[in-house]
Amino acid sequence: MNPVTARLKAVASPAIGLGCMNLSHGYGHSLSETEGLHALEEAFEMGYRHFDTATLYGATANERLVGRALAGKRDEILLASKCGMAIDPELGRKVIDGRPTTLRRQCEASLERLQTDHLDLYYLHRWDQGVPIEESVGELGRLVEEGKIGAIGLSEVSAATLRRARAEHPIAAVQTEYSLWTRNPEIAVLEACREADTLFVAFSPLGRGFLAGSVRERESLVEGDVRLGMPRFTTENLTRNLELLTELERLAHEREATTGQLALAWLRAKGDDILPIPGTRRVAHLRENLAAEELTLGADDVTRLDALFAPPRIAGARYAEGPQAEVDTEQFE
């Protein structure tokens, strides 16, 4: 294992980290600052050490929240953020921009918001396909040389793009959606990560709440919730997917666990180089997710879950056409 990856893995203990996005972004409404601070402080006290945020989330509000909550704990955590995708204040919408000058500017602003002089891990949130990946990664490499970031990560990239990027500079981590019902990394990028001891960070490991049983009807989603635009959450597809959840509930009951814990334990069984970062707004769910690290699955358990959530059995694509065009990940035919 290369030294940078080994260090990141050591710092990211326990292996289950916290995706901070939904404290301020993506699910229709945000927590108050007081509620968000409380959630982050509770997460640290119960043992979370890997905290993941981004310039995009809450139009920079999430970084400010994380910075305020964890400022006095900086030396005890792995702090990760992302660049290359942000809310343009003038346009009022998301913009993907991987130009070197933009990445440097966003990094320096993130450091200020997060109240730190360096980030342990800094991802290119999306590859701007109008900018060669080598140019974006090259600038991030210069930020490593300057000590502003400890290591480079990429998010939602293909195996081919990862290999191009690491020819320019070592890539310590790749972050992509990976869960029982999103198995795309198994096509190629997970193998590509293992070629060079690159950690794999799994976002949305609970299927955006579905695998934890928190979405049983489309009507429960509020205005502004990103899931309203995702094919798997249409009424028809959700109804079909709930049939799989019913079976998952039965298996979880056998193991005296929750469905969310079973889903996280499945990911951990896939390799100790896979770091899930579930997100939640509830302290009880923070505790439940972290406890999944104590749940060990045998080979038979993994095989049963693999088969239950085999890709052809999932109803609906993970992204609609527009968002799908923004990512570079391999897709099942």
| Residues annotated as part of the active site | 57
Category of 295 on φ-ψ map: left (φ > 0), alpha (ψ -120 to 50) or beta: beta
> Are 42 and 15 within 8 A, CB to CB?
no
- Give the CA radius of gyration of the chain: 19
Of residues 174, 252, 157, the one with CA closest to residue 206: 252
Rounded to the nearest 10 degrees, how much is the dihedral formed by the CA atoms of 268, 271, 273, 277? -20
CA distance 25 to 256: 32
Of residues 185, 206, 199, 220, the one with CA closest to residue 260: 206
Name every residue whose Cβ is closer than 8 Å to that of residue 192 and which is 6 or more positions away in sequence: 159, 162, 163, 198
